[in-house]
Structure 1
């Protein structure tokens, strides 16, 4: 068994809901030692701890309960920060200052600390103190204006993409800061937000406006610029077909036995195909309705034309390629038995990710962590009696 890639790093997880835990999960799955600091009382923000969502977000962590509002918690936080490499939080910007755990306070304790913050809209600026929520960021970040059928009105995507994007960008920032620390010897403050992540994830749709002054519109299942790319009906369902560029267009027309489409002036180049998108899609569908989805995918695979089935989630995990990639990972839970969670979508030749432990019970490791910080049993009992932990 090779050493875990990030096992030399200790991470304090002060985050809640989804964006922060997503960032921390990226570190935990590669071996970082994560201490999840949780409120003693239930906050009611995320439902049951044994829910599939909670289990998927918080595996590979240890749990310490701590009342951050109690002044006696400051010494525990100081000791945690002294030993940590990374701290991740997603409080509103003013909240962490009130609790005395803002960046400058943490940096004064440990200058090597990489302090990572995720907020709704940024740490500064006119919206800094507003609460953030994934769907709000999807709307403000432009995603809902380009999702859905033309004229349908704004549509959210089916996953919390702003939360997930912010978490992944945060993890990337943390790893960059840890690499930079090897040169400078100092930590730094890594900041991102749901809004920043969502705007960045617009990618080519954003630059269509920034460079070309073109406001992207809803295109439904059709690709906005690579045409024909979209959903096409077959004899027994629907499949995705993706055709980009003239050589691919000619191969595609040959594969569906419709060379006449390649010769049709209305479809002769990308611009023409865009202008006559509906007529082209209708003509293609007339061809694809003649064979089953499976038959078409064999034909397109032989022709080198990208295509694929459109799965429900249960079908995703039944697919032989998904199973080969081991994207569903088992872990044993003390109450639930063996459960399966979503594994890391990264394969490295030496370093391996792993889901080794399920989400801990709240406060499961409080005594253990406090003893590591230098508290004896009597001191721990006193802290418990005072409602500090």
Structure 2
């Protein structure tokens, strides 16, 4: 398999592939131009290199949990395996870059991807604010430390995210909710004073938003150029016209062992206006083993079954 491969991905702890006789140096002998991507919790070097890691371990160590939630509830785990996801995405980007080198220069690469480092790099401003300005990130719940009003607000029905980050957006928001005087209130007139008095401002905005539903306000605010969006559940967003019209989900009928269609989602991009939708359902374990081995020189079904 390696002799015919452009890239190999593994996510064992450092040293495991070497013990199996499948380390980078060994496989380079078989395929000199191989792009070898090793994804691990902490990377191939350092004092934690041998530690086992799952997503939540990385979430805690990376600082993500310390800034997730409110001051009363933090630290909290993010609601999906964000560190696992980032490790895979960074690994894919690194492989794509290394394949360009492979195709142009015929050279392979050893890619050492650390989930901890991937997560730290994705933290963006919480890390950079601390490194450049000494500002220690704090949990703020649904509030945005960089601006106000910018967060989740109660309406007459449902939660609504509003990000009136620019001065003109704040002035427009005040007019739309029937409270134009808030824009000239000394507590809220400037960006920094709004941040200092965000709690009082939120009470006043929520009082005005109580007159209509989140859906109604979402349409009204967006139409006027104030970014706003309802807070939806996963089932709700999958039914949104924006998602369904762009073909985000694909269903496969007649799946063995299932009493309903199997539905999967595609990647979040289009190519020249065309969605790269899946053409087949996820394979069953071992479904293509014989096919893959049969295509290798000197191999056959007997080898695959062995």
Q: How much has 1:115 moved relative to structure 2?
A: 0.8
1:137-148 correspondence to structure 2 within 5 Å: 137-148=58-69
Taking structure 1 as reference, are residues 83 and 150 closer, same or farther at Cα in structure 2, changes over 3 Å only?
Answer: same
Alpha-carbon distance between aligned partners in 2 of 1:194 and 1:376, rounded to the nearest angstrom:
36
Q: State the partner residue of 1:127.
A: 48
Q: State the partner residue of 1:366.
A: 289
1:228-307 correspondence to structure 2 within 5 Å: 228-307=149-228
Alpha-carbon distance between aligned partners in 2 of 1:307 and 1:350, rounded to the nearest angstrom:
26
Taking structure 1 as reference, are residues 334 and 232 closer, same or farther at Cα in structure 2, changes over 3 Å only?
Answer: closer
Alpha-carbon distance between aligned partners in 2 of 1:313 and 1:102, rounded to the nearest angstrom:
41
Can you give the 5+ residue segments of structure 2 that lack an aligned partner in the other structure?
none
Alpha-carbon distance between aligned partners in 1 of 2:274 and 2:240, rounded to the nearest angstrom:
26
Q: State the partner residue of 2:245.
A: 324
Secondary structure of the residue aligned to 1:295 is: helix
- Superposition TM-score, scaled by structure 1 size: 0.75
Alpha-carbon distance between aligned partners in 1 of 2:212 and 2:75, rounded to the nearest angstrom:
35
Q: State the partner residue of 1:112.
A: 33
RMSD: 1.7
Q: State the partner residue of 1:381.
A: 302
Alpha-carbon distance between aligned partners in 1 of 2:178 and 2:96, rounded to the nearest angstrom:
51
Alpha-carbon distance between aligned partners in 1 of 2:47 and 2:254, rounded to the nearest angstrom:
45
Q: Deviations over 1:360-381 (max 9, x none)?
A: 222222222222113455xx53
* 1:273–1:280 contact (8 Å) kept in structure 2: yes
Secondary structure of the residue aligned to 1:93 is: coil
Secondary structure of the residue aligned to 1:116 is: strand
* 2:289–2:304 contact (8 Å) kept in structure 1: no
Aligned counterpart in structure 2 of residue 207 of structure 1, from 107, 114, 128: 128
Alpha-carbon distance between aligned partners in 2 of 1:242 and 1:311, rounded to the nearest angstrom:
16
* 1:228–1:244 contact (8 Å) kept in structure 2: yes
Alpha-carbon distance between aligned partners in 2 of 1:190 and 1:331, rounded to the nearest angstrom:
36
* 1:332–1:358 contact (8 Å) kept in structure 2: no
Q: State the partner residue of 2:119.
A: 198
Aligned counterpart in structure 2 of residue 171 of structure 1, from 86, 92, 95: 92
Aligned counterpart in structure 1 of residue 278 of structure 2, from 351, 355, 374: 355
1:89-104 correspondence to structure 2 within 5 Å: 89-104=10-25
- Superposition TM-score, scaled by structure 2 size: 0.94
Can you give the 5+ residue segments of structure 1 that lack an aligned partner in the other structure?
1-79
* 2:13–2:51 contact (8 Å) kept in structure 1: yes
Alpha-carbon distance between aligned partners in 1 of 2:198 and 2:244, rounded to the nearest angstrom:
36
Taking structure 1 as reference, are residues 382 and 246 closer, same or farther at Cα in structure 2, changes over 3 Å only?
Answer: closer
Q: State the partner residue of 1:87.
A: 8
Taking structure 1 as reference, are residues 190 and 286 closer, same or farther at Cα in structure 2, changes over 3 Å only?
Answer: same
